[in-house]
Structure 1
Amino acid sequence: MSIFPFPALLAMLPTRLLNLFLLARGRCSPGLVVLLVWLSALPGWAQMLPFQLAEHRGRRVKSSFEFHRNLIVVAVTLNGKGPYKFLLDTGVATSLITDPLLGGELNLRYKQRFRVMGAGNEAALEAFQTDSVRVEMPGVVGAHISFLVLSEDVLNLSGYIGTPIHGILGYDLFRSFVVSVNPVESSIIFADPVHYRAPRGRRWARLPLELEGSKAYITTPVSLSDSLILPLKLILDTGAGHALSVETSSDPRLLLPALRLRTQLGRGLNGFINGYLGRVAALQLGRYRLTNLLTSFPDADNVALRTDVPRNGNIGFELLKRFDLIIDYPHNCLLLRPNAKFPEPFEHDMCGFEVLATGPDYRRYIIMQVQPGSPADLAGLRSDDEIININLIPSTIFTLSQMSRIFHSYDGRQILLVVRRSGGELYTAKMQLKRQI
């Protein structure tokens, strides 16, 4: 059995060689473009990349995605079966099948067993390697994709997002294309990197991407307070629902803010990630400045000690969704243009509990982790209460994303909840939302 840190698996050698001598950092020179076009015509060159466009002469394909709780969800077929729902996650080095039942359904053959170490504070998790899985999306095909198949669905992404989730697509997909994401219209474009031309215009901010250990990093100024500005190296992480995460153990100058909230920040492969929520004054992305960012500060023993590349934290999609973005691994750059979501404030939930979606259609909602002293606690709500009505509207009407927006809406809002207790009795709670951080 092998042991390795998640998700830091080695990238395949051909792409590393391509990045070294074929693709210029930034924009390709005209001569290099000619070389790339010539190489792309050679038999087998395209097969060096895991994914290709389905049409041999195609240069790009556009499709839609589902947007749930700041996460990108796409429909894929595996070995001709499906469709299955997968997250697109730049923070994952090797793609994952998180639903262990898919192994039998797809007749997968496992080549090696691993123990996977990831974020969280529990023991390492077992996973099995399988390869030569055929992955198809509209206009995109990967003929021989490797996956790790988890032995347990410990992430329970389906319950967190409120729709069935079967796995995660990571580095192999992003290194194969220039990927453009429009969060407002929930559309995505996969473009052939050889023929791709970056958009011009003053509104587009261009940031260099540094690829290390199959992940992409940006280094950008972060104003931790009015008097302290530091350049932080941050993972570009489309699979993180938060805005910003800062690992204080990565630099002695990174201190917890005076105003902070102790909480569970999420769940990783090895259990819950604990830490603090606070705010930083600002973060600069090219010409764009985002202020008063809600920021996670995970405990060191949950995250920082299990990293393979020195870094200071990550940027998640709660921040990135405020831009139309072009994620360009082949040319080592990230392009950003503000969209209609840019002015939205960064808010934490104002009720003081988490909600888990359950049931065959993920429309039963169970309250989890009621925070002491929170509006939910003061209203008498308990863990394991099932939400039946919100403001006299049946809870089954809402998706989990819609429900989350209600609980994040604005300070002072009155919410009337009807819940069913574990014993079956109904309880009515009048809750006033409160900005806690």
Structure 2
Amino acid sequence: MSAPRLFAMLVSGRTRPLWTCFGLLILLLCMPFVPLSAQDSGAPFTIVNQKKQAVRIPFELQRNLIVVSAKLNGKGPYNFLLDTGVGISLITDPSLRQTLNLPIGNRFQVAGAGEENAIQAFQSDGVRVELPGVVAPALSFLVLSEDVLNLSGYVGVPIHGILGYDIFRSFVVEVRPVELVLRFHDPYMFRQPQGRSWTTIPLQLQGNKAYITTEVVVNDQLALPLKLVLDTGAGHALSLEVGSDPRLQLPPIRLRSQLGRGLSGYINGFLGRVTALQIGKYRLKSLLTSFPDADNVQQRVDIPRNGNVGFELLKRFNMIIDYPHAQLMLRPNGLYRDPFEHDMSGFDLMATGPDLRRYIIMKVQPDSPASAANLHPNDEIVSINLQPASSMSLTQISRLLHSADGRLLLLIVRRSDGHMYTTALQLKRQI
């Protein structure tokens, strides 16, 4: 085992290994875990009204991520990402430790992808979690001591943690991305929908994560069956790990990029495209794909796989994620024919301020439209096309920066020294 990927629990001189792979596009949180308590013997969440076969829960779609509201120990609501790539529920906002008076259990040194030092985390058991119509009377969380992922700044709304395997093993989860609605079905009462537009893909459940095997046409001559993590907590469409199969190679046309932030630093790699991906009976073409550097991923994978499929792809379908019956059902929705586009500006934004409506440039790619517009790290975007940036969500700004090759945006920018200036940013498709 490699130390940078190890959770070490110091109890009576012993260590208990857990593996983490926090990563791509900040949210590839795919952490299988050794069960932390006896709760693992049964589903932790149940429907409150036992006469109901399902409950309907609204969600927000922010930067290709599912955000749900939950109460913890009767307080809140707090915002959580709903993520099939997470093996244990996480509290990423350390301020909740005191707010909720959380009990401190086993302590861990936590490290993940990246080159920075490990951080401390601790286990907190017996937390009551309530979502509309469902409850977990006593859930175990892993609580980070530092908000190193800064999910709130990345997503643009307050994010306090992540719910994953605990939800998906409790229910058959139906996701409707266009309507922004979830339905949690009692797995014993669930009946499969009928209709020729549905396609069913078997799920392999290993290490508290779900995998699908699907064909990826890497180029016009090579089609490979690949094992991919089903990852609703990854904002990208597809990520492939070239070190997982000697036949997987970087595409000839590619863009060097910082793909995201892990627990222990930034994840670097390339962006490119694959010819197509076949998922069930549906074929999606010209997928924008992340190719993380091999040393960012190869040591943190405990179950062999070739990459993961994220919500930029999955949101194009109404989904039924059915862990209890080991299947994934998909039906195209109104987003199905949307093109797969990368950011066309060349800069990374982070939301800051008490209401997360101040937008600071974190990084500018060399030889990009942002560089040509004389934008610098730590610049604040004050206005876009004469509209105050504070009146827009980070998701709205992100969609604008992905919108159209050649589109011209007029920006008012505040330098870190307070100086204001105006510049024109012309979007350019770079990959």
TM over 0.5: yes
Q: Report if the CA contact (8 A) 1:91-1:215 is conserved.
A: yes
The offset of 1:13, in angstroms, is: 9.4
After TM superposition, the structure 1 stretch with the greater mean CA deviation from structure 2, 124-133 or 414-423, is 124-133
Between the aligned partners of 1:252 and 1:180, the Cα distance in structure 2 is: 36
1:295 to 249, 273, 289: 289
State the Cα distance separating 1:4 from its structure 2 match: 2.2
1-side partners of 2:57 and 2:110: how far apart?
33
The 5-angstrom pairing of residues 115-126 of structure 1 reads 115-126=109-120
Q: Deviations over 1:50-101 (max 9, x none)?
A: 1100112221100100110000000000000100000000000001000001
1:66–1:315: structure 2 CA closer, same or farther, 3 Å change rule?
same
Shift of residue 15, structure 1, vs aligned partner: 9.4
On the 8 A contact 2:37/2:140 being kept in 1, the answer is: no
Task: Find the partner of 1:10 among 5, 23, 34.
Answer: 34
Structure-2 change in CA distance of 1:389 and 1:259 (3 Å): same
Question: What percent identity do the matched residue pairs reach?
Answer: 62
Shift of 1:304: 2.3
Counterpart for residue 430 of structure 2: 436
Tell me the distance in 1 between the aligned counterparts of 2:340 and 2:304.
27
Count of residues paired in the alignment? 407
- How far is 1:397 from its partner? 1.1
Q: Give the 3 Å change call, closer, same or farther, for CA 64–210 of structure 1 in structure 2.
A: same
Please identify, of 282-291 and 4-13, the stretch whose mean Cα deviation from structure 2 is larger: 4-13
Partner of 1:340: 334
Aligned to 1:86: 80
- What are the superposed Cα offsets for residues 153-196 of structure 1, whole Å, 9 maximum, x if unpaired? 00100000100000000101110000000000100000000010
1:105 counterpart = 2:99? yes
Letter matched to residue 52 of structure 2: G
Q: Tell me the equivalent position of 1:252.
A: 246
- On the 8 A contact 1:121/1:302 being kept in 2, the answer is no
Distance in structure 2 (CA, Å) of the matches to 1:14 and 1:185: 37
**Superposition TM-score, scaled by structure 1 size:** 0.91
Which structure 2 residues correspond to residues 236-275 of structure 1 after superposition, within 5 A?
A: 236-275=230-269
Superimposed CA distance per residue, residues 90-113 of structure 1 (whole angstroms, 9 cap, x where no aligned partner): 000001000001011111111101
Residue 122 of structure 1, CA deviation: 2.6
Work out the CA distance in 2 between the residues paired with 1:13 and 1:115.
Answer: 19
Task: Give 3-state SS (helix, strand or coil) of 1:331's partner.
Answer: coil
Instruction: Give the match for residue 401 of structure 2.
Output: 407
1:315 matched to 2:309 = yes
Picking from 210, 215, 219, the partner of 2:209 is: 215
Return the offset for 1:118.
2.6
Pair 1:195 & 2:189 matched: yes
Cα deviation 1:369-427 (Å, max 9, x = unaligned): 10000000011110110001101111111100000011000100011111000111111
Letter in 2 for 1:283: L
8 Å Cα contact 1:11/1:93 also seen in 2: no
Q: 101-110 or 118-127, which moves further after superposition?
A: 118-127
Q: Which amino acid in 1 is paired with 2:96?
A: L
Structure 1 partner of 2:140: 146
Runs of 4+ in 1 over 6 A off after TM superposition: 12-17
Q: Distance in 2 between matches of 1:269 and 1:173?
A: 23
Residues 177 and 315 of structure 2 are in contact (CA less than 8 Å); yes or no, is this contact kept in structure 1?
yes
Match of 2:323 in 1: 329
CA contact (8 A) 2:213 2:225 kept: yes
User: Per-residue deviation at 1:115?
Assistant: 1.9
Q: After the TM superposition, which of the residue ranges 333-342 and 119-128 deviates more from structure 2?
A: 119-128
Distance in 1 (CA, whole Å) between partners of 2:120 and 2:364 is: 31
Q: Distance in 1 between matches of 2:73 and 2:40?
A: 27
> 3-state SS of the aligned residue for 2:174?
strand
Q: C-alpha distance in 2, partners of 1:82/1:14?
A: 26
Q: Match for residue 131 of structure 1? A: 125
Q: Which runs of 5+ in 2 are unaligned?
A: 1-9, 21-30
Give 1:56-67 correspondences, 5 Å limit. 56-67=50-61
* CA distance 1:157–1:280, shift in 2 (3 Å): same
Correspondences of 1:373-384 after superposition (within 5 Å): 373-384=367-378
Rounded to whole Å, the distance in 2 between the matches of 1:402 and 1:262 is 25
| 1:96-144 deviation per Cα after TM superposition (whole angstroms, max 9, x unaligned) | 0000010111111111011223333333332100111000000010011
Q: Is the 8 A contact 1:281 1:293 kept in 2?
A: yes
